[in-house]
Structure 1
Amino acid sequence: MLYLVAEEPADGVEIAVEQDAARLALAGPPGGEELLVALHGATLPRSPGRETRWLTDPALGDTTPAMDPQQEHTWPDLEQLGSDKRDLADEAMYRSLKSKLFDEAYPPVQLGRFRVVQTLGQGGMGVVYAAEDPQLGRQVAIKVIRDDRLREGAKDRARLLREAQMQAKLSHPNVVQIHEVSESDGALFIVMELVKGCNLREWLDRETRPLAAILERFVEAARGLSAAHQKGIVHRDFKLANAMVGEDGRVRIADFGLAVAGQSEQETEPERPPGSAAAGHTSKHAGTPTYMSPEQVRGRDCDARSDQYSFAVALTEAVFRRPPPPAIERLADRTGALTLPTDPPAPQWLRQALTRALSLDPADRFPSMAALIDVLVETPKRRKRRALAAGLVVALAGSTALGATFFAETRPRECSQYEDRIGEIWDGVREESLRAAFVATGAPYAEQSWQRTRGMLDAYAKEWAKVASNACEASRPDSPLSARNLAESEVCLGRQYRSFASLLDEFATADRALVANADEAVAGLSPPLQCIVSSSTPSEDRPAGPTNPRVRELLDRGKLLTLTHEGREAVSFLDYALAEIRSNSDVAGEAEGLLLLGRAKGRLIGDGPGAEENLNEAFNRANAAKYSALKWEIWNELAQVQAVVFDAPREARKYLKHAKSERHPDPRVAEVALAAVESEILIVEARPLDAVALRRQALDTLNSLYPADHREVMLARLSLAAALGEARQLQEAHEMHRQLLADLQREYGREHPLTARVELNFGLDLHELEQTAAAREALEHARAALVNTYGERHLWVAKTEVALAQLDLDDGAITRAIERLDAAMATYEVLVPPTHAERITALIVLAEAHQRNGQTPGALAVYRELLDIHDADPAHSSVDLFTTLANIGDALCVLGQCADALPYFARSIGLKSPDLSSEPAMKALPLRGLGLVALADGEPQLGAMLLQRALTILEHAPLERLGLEAILIATMRELADAYTTLGSKPQRARELRRRAAELESAH
């Protein structure tokens, strides 16, 4: 952005600012040339004998005036010159420079809350900037959509928003994550994960890559595309430049700018590679000509097989250093023949796979990206296995080989040296580096979390070394233990060693969510003592599970994601992991992965049907693998789904009975887990006092197993307080939350998310106890702490928003309540299915807010959505059908469409709801509704009769508990109107209106 006069100085330039801030002297090392820089319309002196020239910013076009070095010249005012032509990144740089030179504060360049740093690139859809998110303390990439890509205004904006929201639901290790979509000053922009590294083309160009490395990178890219296809997203412009290779070596698919879910219309023009035959051609179809599939060239609908074609073009280019002929040329050739290059040489199986994927007819390609991945992954493995088998002379049978290898390296050494073995991955240097990684997250609780985690890691390392040493001693020739028992112990210990190493690697790149749950992650490691096998150990209790290191690595990663409550990311990763686990034919690993996936779907995102399907499949695979230790967990998780997600206690008890009948490797731990699920069933059965008793018992068990500050003990206390709330023992629940909050603030810090979760419950207690100001303070702080760890889009943040919205409604701040509820709903739309219980609660509160704001159409739309949710799966619905039908009918009557309300009131009359037997006042709602329908139909006699019946029920019921006072008042006035219409009972009509007025003034 600067305009320089005279020769450029040598390295080591120093800047000196003159007092009038009009001219700067930039001097190099002693004796170097002086360089003048002028700003703010200053006048430059003549420079006799010195060559003077302008160095201009090309963004300013031809605005630079001619300059005669022998004359004085007035420098143009840079505040005005080109300011309308600078992009956001240039403007940010310009303001930063002015701030440094003139010691003045200039506001940063902002897009919403994001601070623009630099331009990363420009494409067909818009400009991509690197930016900072000060709220979450992270760097992001922001794509600002070009105005000319929104030719149809609101329609195009809505389409792009829908597509971006769909892509935001796609959370996968090999896809660039979209964080949010927003607008600022009319500009639509998409906030994404910032990937530091290069694209796949640059990665290939930097050095000659071996085929194995190329295939590894492309398999990762294929997995990203496959994950997108499973969500119904087709990329439509895959190419080398759209796959990023991060500094961590992981490939991520980027730039879904042309992706369309369920659409066939192309929105952008193709790139025009310099010097290519198509460089002068402008296509109306989306994509890049070299990579476009035949159906894309023809302008036909594109599906996942189109991406497969583009992927195969890119892989062909990577392997042979040149792409195959473009589809448009092959289509012009009557034969459509494809001949791949013969140099450099490539395996025949790969050539066959590429030829199939590049078929002109989509039906001739692989049925899916997953099928192509299987070929790219499995074929080299099969060849390697055959080679190994040919040279194998002696091998141990089955799964013992891995463990035997682990200990074979160390048996010649002293058994005490296992401390050195664990010390190779856990020592003072590693300890310090991990502490630095925790602190680098900026989490306010990072140091406290590290101190707890470090102690647990130390203890685990020492225990593992001790158990491994004992196993080593037992391997001596004079040991009474059998070779089989030793081999099983060795396999188990080797597996634990790798899990410990993997966890340390995860900690090295930890984010705030993992830092917050680090101690729980260490506690989740399998205890080394479980690996000791003797001849008396029952076969059911012998170490089991996957032995393949890669499978174990995938499962450990999935477990961490579920632990840190990253629901969508966990589900997406486990879907991807299971595909690879199956390719390894690891049945035990598949069973464990399916259990993790079912748990993530059930507990984290409330997807009951999906969880049930995965868990049933997990049980079948555990049976096939004879993985007995897993069965009770699967049954227990199925019971949890039935109770919490489906609200079906009878089915839940069936599964719980199976869980209790299975063998439990650690009975006391299993006892607590089983009690936790049974207490959920008791709450659904409306037996909260029994649930309280059971949770007290579970807490006593945990207190006997762990210290008072253990995470499991803290969570059990939180669970007990929740049960007390369900039992309406509000004061005791409130006191328990208060004590737990104080303990967590001391142990974890006030900003820790676990502390925030308790503070959220504490705020809800205060709300119920009508301590509104204190409740708001607690909830606002809980929200801020949760956002600080998880960002704006998280289920706990959404839950807090709903609680705050209810406070706003109590305070009459209806607009603010609706804003909070809209924010919560935006989170639910991305993270959970429509049937999620918390989403349904938010819808109910949103409908109430619309009603209180006089927005009956908005409330009606919400009630109809609730009805649709119920009717989609009545057997598993948690929607209150009776109340929903009554609310739809009421809303229609308010809108003057009472005749249309008849089917809703009539349907509610025939329902057999538990609420109707326990709360007889509810029976008045459909009667009143039918009375209003009769009045609207011109039948006041029938209307008066129905309204009188409804009023009789309401007058003899405890209305305050149900919040039906307003219904009583309305019914009185409606009945009075009916009598007036009939011209009968005038005294009764006056009495009804008088009583209605008295009740209204009293409330």
Structure 2
Amino acid sequence: MRLEPGSAPPSIGVTPRSEGDDDCGAGSPTGPSGENWDEPPTALMARRPGPAEDSDSVAKRLLKRALFPRRSQPVMIGRFNVLRQLGQGGMGVVYACYDDKLDRKIAVKVLHAEIVRSQKNAEARLLREAQAMARLSHANIVAVHDVGQTEGTVYVAMEFVDGSDLDAWLKTPRSWQAIAAAFVQAGRGLAAAHRVGIVHRDFKPQNVMMTEDGTVKVLDFGLARASEGEGRDEWLTSVADGSELSSSHLQSSLTRTGTVLGTPAYMSPEQHRGEVANTASDQFSFCVSLYQSLYGASPFAMHSYEALRADVLQGNVAPPPVRSPVPSYVFKVLQRGMRPEPGARFGSMEQLLAALERDPRAKYRRVAALVASVAITGAASAAAFRVGAVEQCPDAHAELAGIWEPARAEAVRAALRALDPGNADETLAVIEPQIERYAEAWVQMRNEACRAHAEGRQSMQVFDLRTACLDQRRAALDTMVDALTTADAARLDHLGRAVAGLPRLTGCADVEALSSAIPPPDDAEIKARVQQHREALARAGVLEQTAEIRRGLQLVDGVLADGEAVAYEPLRAEAYLRKAGLSMRDGDWSAALAGFNEALWTAVAIGHLPVAAQASSRRGYLLAYPLSQPAQAHAELPLIAAFNRRTQGDVDLYGEFLLNAGTIHLQAREPDQARESWQQARTLLEQNDRLETPLGLNVLLNTAVLLADAELTEETAALRRRIVELSEKLMGPRQAERATYEGMLAFALIDLGRPGEALARMRGFYAHLSRVESKRARFVATLMLAHVEMMRGDAGAALHRMDEVRRADPESFGPNYWSWAMLAAAMAGDLPAMREAQAVVRGALDELDPRDSRHTLLLRFYARALRVAGFDAESVAPLENARSALAGSDDRADVVTSARLSLGLGQARVRLGELDAAERDLHAALATFERLLPPRHLDLAEVMTALGEVALERRRSAAAIEWLTKAEAIYTSTAEPDYAPLVRARALLDRARADAVEQ
């Protein structure tokens, strides 16, 4: 019986804060460029050079009002109440303002006219920035709320962001992984802009913000333009041509000879040449920025503009420092992104990010695990999106770039066809649609999360939680696809079940469950590492399912080695839970128990209910079954149930508890409670459309064990047929486990008197066995077929087949199979072979406790073989000894087994002519069978046939006819017409009727 067990100057909205800083400018906050805002305003004004210094611009008037406010009259920009100046950028001045209408704090950017030559040109450029940003709605882009004009100038109202730009953030030493993580977030923002036709054209660290909660946001789209419509970005000049501002400022060129567009250090070759900037130009600027941030120097000469331009145009990228910790593959990615020819760079920003995330040194440990973690911890915008921005949620298919896309699908096909040519197409027909559905469901859920946040239906916190959950699922999918492309024959058997068991996505939409989880750490860096490690644990979970235990344990040990991160105890509990699962899969029971203990008590201490529930449930299974301590597991079952009742909303988690609780009950000799628990699990999963999953399959398998123990043969056969069908649906027709499931069904059919049907099924499966890579599967299937052939009457073929299997794999050919060989030899009349097998079985019987169910099973085959060979007397003593060992037991299985031993004794004694003793044994067996077995069980027919034979021997024709008629009726209700015991019962019935006529 096997029981299954059940993550530069400031730009838009920057607020460098110090302790005591508030919205009214209390305390002594300092701007990013070093100004002290409490310094006398005349000194501050005196440091602002420029020919327009004496002009009475609107921006200067607003600045004066902000610095010298009149207490009786607030300074206003449009409808917004100015609180204080935040700083100034290349195009304008940014103020902290309050929006009375929507009751929120915002940032407002107004034209900084002193630094441009043409008022109209600057206004148009600011409008262009507003239009560009208003078209974008993404967690890594600053959101625009409003745009307007006041007192002859233009302003843009946008979300208020606390944090610093990446240039300032990098002044604190950071690991290369953290830097890459921050830039990939920014890259996602650029990718989102590119998807709606927006090119930034001035990407640099100063235009990227790192918020206090770890979110990276791209801003300052002031040089952006729609990518549609080609034209030259020539040298800029300010030209007051008197034209009116059009409604499509984003499409206008605004490029005139005279001024470089963008910041030279980050500009692409095409920008240096004055050509139109495109998405490849943003790639170039992104790679320059990341190179500089990782290596601490520019990739190009910086001593003069001429030298810089020459290096850029020629593609002379400086090599990285010799002792740099940054892996070489990262440099190769950046080098490609800085190629002078746009066509030689990556095809898209998504492709660049995918290349950056994929570490070729260790496919199972992807940079994305770190990259995504930072994005997760602060992926949501700090301000509400406009309703109209819902349509701008970028499609999330791009976020699966390099994970599941046509190229990866083709790689999976090629790998499986090379590994398993005969079965690959059938396997792919099952697993590829499952992965496709999973990936599509992930995309739809990611899109829906964005829309829900954009529409104001879900908060930033919920969006963060959902995105964190989805990124963990994405990591699992990535690892699963990697496993499919790198699998070897040893792991091939596990892939179908692993694909079917990918972690459920619906949990990422369960707002109540996500919100009730323990909050992440407050520290942004630790929070990012926790998310990184949770993604690593998700990957380890897939490796557990694909039997890559060593790699899975390496991932978990890497998590536990980060002392600062696992000081956050929820992560510690999750890591030990995963380690315990891997250890249990590896058969290391002591390590598994230690891991479950650590996970359980850590989770209980901090109230981490999901981990406490699952750790307690799996620990109970481990105690009850592999460790054979059912009493301890049963004693702890109330506590296990209490933990799991708190998580009933999680169908899979609670279903696993019910599965494991049933095992505990069964091992504690409470079959009725076990059956009730498993029936609850089956009902729960069916009601929630989760029965057709690996968990549901395990529930059915365990229920089938219980039905077989209860001798409910018809229900057992029906359920095992369902198991075969479900396993094929989940894992394909040729998976290794199919051999076991087919064998189980064959046994159930034999118990119903249908060996012909069983033989047809096994032969059909066996015909394709050469296409199954698993040696174990071929071993099991061959022996199952031999057993069915023996039961069908072809004992010679069965014996020959078993002999071949034994010689090929003698270590796996255990006593149970020797007992089959003994019976087959007896049926085939091969006495030497029978005696050889008998010696092995006899030795095994001597070593086993007579109360052990394995002892009884061996003994029944042993005694039957002796009777078939004509050694009835030799079979009596062992049967009597076995029955004596079970005497006094009130266990239902023991009582039924004792009755079967009595049946065997009765049959032997009929052959020996000991009719009185035979009749006593047979009536004793009949009384038990009638009390404990279903009315159509074939054991009843067998004992009635034996009683009919006794009556015939005693010349009691009427009694014989009665017994044999009852036996025939039972046989015909379930058995095949040519079933040998049925044929024999009918022959005896005909004889009894003939005797009755003669009498």
- TM-score strictly above 0.5: no
> TM-score of the superposition, structure 1-length normalised?
0.42
Indicate the structure (1 or 2) with the bigger Cα radius of gyration: 2
> TM-score of the superposition, structure 2-length normalised?
0.42
